[in-house]
Amino acid sequence: MPTFTPTSPRALAGLVADTLDDLPGRRVVAVDGADAAQPVELARQIVEVLADRGRSAAVVSVHDFVRPASLRMEYGRDDEWSYRTAWFDYEAIEREIVTSMRTEGRWLPALWDEDLDRSARAAIRAAQADLVLVLAGPMLLGRGLEFDLSVRLELSDQAALRLTPTDQQWTLPALRDHTAENPEAATWTVRWDHPDRAALRS
C-alpha cells in the first residue's frame, strides 16, 4: 500500500536538485504532466534551485516540439488518438535533446513554433559539461526516452477536469489512456491536485 508524504513545489524542486548533486555531468530530467498540472512551472523551479547551487540548467517544453498543424490536425482539431500519437514529436526530442546532448554535447531548445505554425528557427546550443536539461510536458514517460530522473505529476479525474480549459478537455481521455497503457515508473510520483498541498508517493 503506497504512503504519501506532504510536499510543495519548492520542496520537490529541492529534492530533485539534491539527487542531482550525486549525478555529475550532463543529465536529462523529465517532468511529466498534463498541461493543467503546469509541468513547465515546476521545471522552472528545478532550474532555479540548480542555478542557485551553481549548476547549469535549462527548461525545454514539449510544446516547443510539436509537429506541424497539418500533421497534428489531420483528423480534426480534437482527435484523441492524434493527440497521443501525432501531436508531439517525441522522436525529435530523442534525437535533438536526449541523444544529441549525451553523444555530441549539443542540444536544440525548440523545433516548432506552435502558435505561428512554423519552424522555431532556434540555434543549436553547446551543452556545458554539467548541464541539466529539464523536459516538461504531457506523455513524456512511456516513450522509451532515457531520462536520468523523472517526476510524474498526477491529477485526479476531477482535478484534471477542473483545471483544464473547456476547449482542451477533449485531451483528457488521451492523457488518461496513455498513462494507463504505459505505466512507466517515475523516480517520483506526486499527487498534484493542489500543488500547495501536494503529496509525494513512496
202 found inside a domain: no
Q: pTM score, two decimals?
A: 0.95
200 found inside a domain: no
Its domain, for residue 20, covers 4-191
CA trace torsion 190, 38, 197, 186 (10° rounding): 10
182 found inside a domain: yes
Domain count along the chain:
1
Give me the mean pLDDT over the 86-102 stretch. 96
CATH of the domain at 131: 3.40.50.300
199 found inside a domain: no
101 found inside a domain: yes
Is the separation of the CB atoms in 15 and 46 below 8 Å?
Answer: no
Give me the mean pLDDT over the 60-72 stretch. 96
Report the pLDDT value the prediction gives residue 141, as an integer from 0 to 100.
97
Is the separation of the CB atoms in 48 and 13 below 8 Å?
Answer: yes
Give me the mean pLDDT over the 149-176 stretch. 97
197 found inside a domain: no
71 found inside a domain: yes
Q: For the segment 4-49, what is each residue's pLDDT rounded down to a tens digit?
A: 999 999 999 999 999 999 999 999 999 999 999 999 999 999 999 9
Rounded to an integer, what distance in angstroms lies between the CA atom of residue 173 and that of residue 103? Answer: 36
Rounded to an integer, what distance in angstroms lies between the CA atom of residue 194 and that of residue 159? Answer: 8
Give me the mean pLDDT over the 63-90 stretch. 94
Give me the mean pLDDT over the 118-141 stretch. 97
Sign of the CA dihedral with 168 first, then 94, 22, and 130 last: negative
Is the separation of the CB atoms in 132 and 150 below 8 Å?
Answer: no
Nearest Cα neighbor of 20 from 38, 41, 46 is 46
- pLDDT beyond 90 at 113: yes
Report the pLDDT value the prediction gives residue 183, as an integer from 0 to 100.
85
Q: Tell me which DSSP letter residue 94 carries.
A: I
106 found inside a domain: yes
